[in-house]
Amino acid sequence: MPADSNVVRLQAFLAHCGVASRRASEKIITDGRVQVNGTVVTELGTKVSQDDVVLVDGKQIFVEEHKRYVLLNKPVGYVCTQSDEKGRQTAAGLLKRAYSERLYNVGRLDMFSCGIILFTNDGDFAKRLSHPSAEVEKEYIVTSPMPFPRELAENFKKGVRVDGVFYKAKDAEEMTPRKMRIVLVEGKNREIRRVFSDAGVAIKMLKRVRIGNILIGGLKPGEFRDVTEDELDGLLSLCKN
Protein backbone atom coordinates (compact mmCIF):
# COMPACT_ATOMS: atom_id res chain seq x y z
CA MET A 1 0.00 0.00 0.00
CA PRO A 2 1.40 3.45 -0.84
CA ALA A 3 3.12 5.06 2.14
CA ASP A 4 0.95 8.20 1.90
CA SER A 5 -2.30 6.21 2.05
CA ASN A 6 -2.88 5.44 5.73
CA VAL A 7 -6.60 4.87 5.19
CA VAL A 8 -7.98 3.14 2.10
CA ARG A 9 -11.17 1.48 0.95
CA LEU A 10 -11.52 -2.11 2.11
CA GLN A 11 -11.44 -3.55 -1.43
CA ALA A 12 -8.19 -1.68 -2.13
CA PHE A 13 -6.72 -3.04 1.12
CA LEU A 14 -7.59 -6.61 0.07
CA ALA A 15 -5.93 -6.02 -3.30
CA HIS A 16 -2.77 -4.66 -1.67
CA CYS A 17 -2.70 -7.75 0.52
CA GLY A 18 -2.73 -9.95 -2.57
CA VAL A 19 -6.16 -11.43 -1.88
CA ALA A 20 -7.65 -10.61 -5.29
CA SER A 21 -8.07 -7.77 -7.74
CA ARG A 22 -10.13 -4.83 -6.51
CA ARG A 23 -13.15 -5.91 -8.53
CA ALA A 24 -12.95 -9.50 -7.27
CA SER A 25 -12.37 -8.18 -3.74
CA GLU A 26 -15.66 -6.30 -3.91
CA LYS A 27 -17.54 -9.58 -4.32
CA ILE A 28 -15.56 -11.18 -1.49
CA ILE A 29 -16.72 -8.31 0.73
CA THR A 30 -20.37 -8.35 -0.33
CA ASP A 31 -20.42 -12.14 0.14
CA GLY A 32 -19.73 -11.56 3.84
CA ARG A 33 -16.31 -13.20 3.85
CA VAL A 34 -14.45 -10.25 5.43
CA GLN A 35 -14.20 -9.21 9.08
CA VAL A 36 -12.75 -5.94 10.33
CA ASN A 37 -11.83 -5.86 14.00
CA GLY A 38 -14.10 -8.82 14.68
CA THR A 39 -17.12 -7.56 12.77
CA VAL A 40 -18.33 -8.87 9.41
CA VAL A 41 -18.28 -6.01 6.89
CA THR A 42 -20.23 -6.04 3.63
CA GLU A 43 -20.20 -2.30 2.86
CA LEU A 44 -17.85 -1.43 -0.01
CA GLY A 45 -17.33 2.13 1.23
CA THR A 46 -15.70 0.90 4.44
CA LYS A 47 -12.22 2.31 5.02
CA VAL A 48 -9.42 0.62 6.93
CA SER A 49 -5.77 1.12 7.81
CA GLN A 50 -2.90 -1.21 8.50
CA ASP A 51 -3.72 -0.85 12.22
CA ASP A 52 -7.05 -2.62 11.70
CA VAL A 53 -7.31 -6.40 11.98
CA VAL A 54 -8.76 -7.68 8.72
CA LEU A 55 -9.70 -11.33 8.19
CA VAL A 56 -10.76 -13.07 4.99
CA ASP A 57 -12.42 -16.44 5.50
CA GLY A 58 -11.20 -16.33 9.09
CA LYS A 59 -7.54 -15.74 8.23
CA GLN A 60 -5.81 -12.44 8.96
CA ILE A 61 -4.32 -10.71 5.95
CA PHE A 62 -1.40 -8.30 5.73
CA VAL A 63 -0.12 -5.85 3.15
CA GLU A 64 2.52 -7.61 1.10
CA GLU A 65 5.67 -5.54 0.77
CA HIS A 66 7.20 -7.63 -2.01
CA LYS A 67 5.34 -7.30 -5.27
CA ARG A 68 5.27 -10.28 -7.62
CA TYR A 69 4.66 -10.33 -11.36
CA VAL A 70 4.51 -13.81 -12.85
CA LEU A 71 3.90 -15.07 -16.38
CA LEU A 72 2.21 -18.47 -16.71
CA ASN A 73 1.59 -20.52 -19.84
CA LYS A 74 -1.83 -21.84 -18.86
CA PRO A 75 -2.60 -25.32 -20.17
CA VAL A 76 -6.02 -26.31 -21.48
CA GLY A 77 -8.30 -27.62 -18.73
CA TYR A 78 -7.41 -25.09 -16.03
CA VAL A 79 -9.78 -22.35 -14.88
CA CYS A 80 -8.85 -18.79 -13.94
CA THR A 81 -10.36 -18.62 -10.47
CA GLN A 82 -8.73 -18.76 -7.04
CA SER A 83 -10.91 -21.74 -6.13
CA ASP A 84 -13.50 -23.65 -8.12
CA GLU A 85 -16.77 -24.92 -6.71
CA LYS A 86 -16.73 -27.74 -9.27
CA GLY A 87 -13.33 -28.97 -8.13
CA ARG A 88 -11.59 -28.18 -11.41
CA GLN A 89 -7.87 -27.45 -11.51
CA THR A 90 -6.99 -23.75 -11.22
CA ALA A 91 -4.27 -21.85 -13.02
CA ALA A 92 -3.31 -20.18 -9.73
CA GLY A 93 -2.73 -23.63 -8.22
CA LEU A 94 0.19 -24.18 -10.59
CA LEU A 95 2.07 -21.34 -8.87
CA LYS A 96 1.55 -22.31 -5.24
CA ARG A 97 4.59 -24.56 -4.99
CA ALA A 98 6.90 -21.69 -5.98
CA TYR A 99 5.36 -18.59 -4.40
CA SER A 100 4.24 -17.98 -0.84
CA GLU A 101 2.37 -14.80 -1.81
CA ARG A 102 -1.31 -14.95 -2.78
CA LEU A 103 -1.23 -14.28 -6.50
CA TYR A 104 -4.27 -13.63 -8.67
CA ASN A 105 -4.69 -13.49 -12.42
CA VAL A 106 -4.90 -10.24 -14.38
CA GLY A 107 -7.55 -10.96 -16.98
CA ARG A 108 -8.70 -14.43 -17.92
CA LEU A 109 -8.47 -17.30 -20.37
CA ASP A 110 -11.38 -19.71 -20.53
CA MET A 111 -10.96 -23.34 -19.52
CA PHE A 112 -10.48 -24.56 -23.09
CA SER A 113 -8.01 -21.84 -24.11
CA CYS A 114 -4.28 -21.86 -23.40
CA GLY A 115 -1.35 -19.47 -23.45
CA ILE A 116 0.10 -16.73 -21.34
CA ILE A 117 -1.59 -14.99 -18.45
CA LEU A 118 -0.18 -12.63 -15.83
CA PHE A 119 -0.41 -13.13 -12.07
CA THR A 120 0.38 -10.55 -9.41
CA ASN A 121 -0.24 -9.40 -5.84
CA ASP A 122 -0.05 -5.75 -6.93
CA GLY A 123 -3.59 -4.39 -6.93
CA ASP A 124 -2.70 -1.09 -8.58
CA PHE A 125 -0.89 -2.85 -11.41
CA ALA A 126 -3.81 -5.25 -11.95
CA LYS A 127 -6.34 -2.42 -11.98
CA ARG A 128 -4.36 -0.36 -14.47
CA LEU A 129 -3.58 -3.22 -16.85
CA SER A 130 -7.07 -4.75 -16.87
CA HIS A 131 -8.94 -1.48 -17.46
CA PRO A 132 -10.19 -1.14 -21.07
CA SER A 133 -8.61 2.32 -21.29
CA ALA A 134 -5.16 0.72 -21.05
CA GLU A 135 -5.57 -0.59 -24.62
CA VAL A 136 -2.82 -3.18 -24.23
CA GLU A 137 -2.63 -5.56 -27.19
CA LYS A 138 -3.18 -9.28 -26.69
CA GLU A 139 -2.24 -11.60 -29.55
CA TYR A 140 -3.77 -15.02 -30.19
CA ILE A 141 -3.20 -17.89 -32.59
CA VAL A 142 -6.38 -19.73 -33.53
CA THR A 143 -6.46 -23.03 -35.41
CA SER A 144 -9.54 -24.71 -36.83
CA PRO A 145 -10.24 -28.22 -38.16
CA MET A 146 -11.86 -26.55 -41.19
CA PRO A 147 -10.83 -23.80 -43.63
CA PHE A 148 -11.82 -20.28 -42.61
CA PRO A 149 -14.46 -18.41 -44.61
CA ARG A 150 -12.56 -16.04 -46.84
CA GLU A 151 -14.16 -12.95 -45.34
CA LEU A 152 -13.79 -13.88 -41.65
CA ALA A 153 -10.54 -12.02 -40.91
CA GLU A 154 -11.62 -8.88 -42.75
CA ASN A 155 -15.04 -8.87 -41.12
CA PHE A 156 -13.46 -9.23 -37.67
CA LYS A 157 -11.22 -6.22 -38.37
CA LYS A 158 -14.17 -4.16 -39.58
CA GLY A 159 -16.29 -5.25 -36.65
CA VAL A 160 -19.17 -7.70 -36.29
CA ARG A 161 -22.23 -7.75 -34.06
CA VAL A 162 -23.16 -11.02 -32.33
CA ASP A 163 -26.28 -11.21 -30.15
CA GLY A 164 -26.31 -7.43 -29.81
CA VAL A 165 -22.63 -7.15 -28.80
CA PHE A 166 -20.11 -5.45 -31.11
CA TYR A 167 -16.73 -7.19 -31.52
CA LYS A 168 -13.78 -5.71 -33.39
CA ALA A 169 -10.22 -7.01 -33.66
CA LYS A 170 -7.32 -4.59 -33.96
CA ASP A 171 -5.81 -7.00 -36.47
CA ALA A 172 -6.65 -10.39 -37.94
CA GLU A 173 -4.87 -12.29 -40.68
CA GLU A 174 -4.82 -15.82 -42.04
CA MET A 175 -1.48 -17.54 -41.58
CA THR A 176 -2.75 -20.67 -43.34
CA PRO A 177 -6.28 -21.66 -44.45
CA ARG A 178 -6.80 -23.11 -40.94
CA LYS A 179 -4.62 -20.88 -38.75
CA MET A 180 -5.27 -17.22 -37.93
CA ARG A 181 -3.44 -14.55 -35.95
CA ILE A 182 -5.72 -12.18 -34.05
CA VAL A 183 -4.85 -9.07 -32.02
CA LEU A 184 -7.38 -7.71 -29.55
CA VAL A 185 -7.26 -4.59 -27.44
CA GLU A 186 -10.38 -4.56 -25.30
CA GLY A 187 -10.97 -8.31 -25.31
CA LYS A 188 -14.60 -8.83 -24.34
CA ASN A 189 -15.61 -12.10 -22.68
CA ARG A 190 -15.06 -15.08 -25.05
CA GLU A 191 -14.83 -12.63 -27.95
CA ILE A 192 -12.97 -14.83 -30.43
CA ARG A 193 -15.11 -17.89 -29.70
CA ARG A 194 -18.33 -15.95 -30.18
CA VAL A 195 -17.23 -14.38 -33.46
CA PHE A 196 -16.05 -17.71 -34.84
CA SER A 197 -19.17 -19.53 -33.67
CA ASP A 198 -21.35 -16.91 -35.35
CA ALA A 199 -19.42 -17.54 -38.59
CA GLY A 200 -19.94 -21.30 -38.24
CA VAL A 201 -16.25 -21.98 -37.60
CA ALA A 202 -15.11 -24.57 -35.05
CA ILE A 203 -12.00 -23.84 -32.98
CA LYS A 204 -9.42 -26.56 -32.46
CA MET A 205 -7.01 -24.46 -30.40
CA LEU A 206 -7.05 -20.89 -29.07
CA LYS A 207 -3.67 -19.79 -27.71
CA ARG A 208 -2.58 -16.40 -26.38
CA VAL A 209 1.03 -15.77 -27.36
CA ARG A 210 1.58 -12.11 -26.44
CA ILE A 211 0.46 -9.51 -23.89
CA GLY A 212 1.76 -6.10 -24.90
CA ASN A 213 5.53 -6.47 -25.16
CA ILE A 214 5.66 -9.84 -23.35
CA LEU A 215 5.93 -12.93 -25.56
CA ILE A 216 5.27 -16.56 -24.75
CA GLY A 217 8.75 -17.48 -25.99
CA GLY A 218 9.84 -20.96 -25.02
CA LEU A 219 7.50 -21.23 -22.04
CA LYS A 220 5.85 -24.65 -22.17
CA PRO A 221 2.30 -25.40 -20.95
CA GLY A 222 2.27 -25.33 -17.16
CA GLU A 223 5.58 -23.48 -16.93
CA PHE A 224 5.92 -20.01 -15.44
CA ARG A 225 8.55 -17.37 -14.74
CA ASP A 226 8.95 -13.97 -13.14
CA VAL A 227 8.35 -10.98 -15.39
CA THR A 228 11.59 -9.02 -15.76
CA GLU A 229 11.89 -5.38 -14.75
CA ASP A 230 12.43 -4.39 -18.37
CA GLU A 231 9.30 -6.29 -19.42
CA LEU A 232 7.29 -4.70 -16.62
CA ASP A 233 8.48 -1.20 -17.47
CA GLY A 234 7.77 -1.81 -21.14
CA LEU A 235 4.28 -3.13 -20.43
CA LEU A 236 3.37 -0.17 -18.22
CA SER A 237 4.68 2.24 -20.84
CA LEU A 238 2.19 0.75 -23.31
CA CYS A 239 -0.78 1.46 -21.04
CA LYS A 240 -2.65 4.52 -22.28
CA ASN A 241 -4.44 5.19 -18.99
Q: What is the dihedral of CA 118, 119, 124, 127, to 10 degrees?
A: 60
Picking from 17, 52, 55, the residue whose alpha carbon sits closest to that of residue 35 is 55
Cβ atoms within 10 Å of 220's Cβ, excluding its own? 9
122 assigned to active site = no
- Selected catalytic residue, list 110, 124, 171, 198: 110
Backbone dihedral region of 3: left (phi > 0), alpha (psi from -120 to 50 degrees) or beta?
Answer: alpha
Non-local (6+) Cβ contacts of 195 within 8 A are 156, 160, 162, 167
DSSP three-state, residue 44:
coil
Distance (Å, rounded) from C-alpha 9 to C-alpha 29? 11
Give φ, ψ of 189 to 5 degrees. -55, 120
- Report, as residue numbers or ranges, the catalytic residues: 110
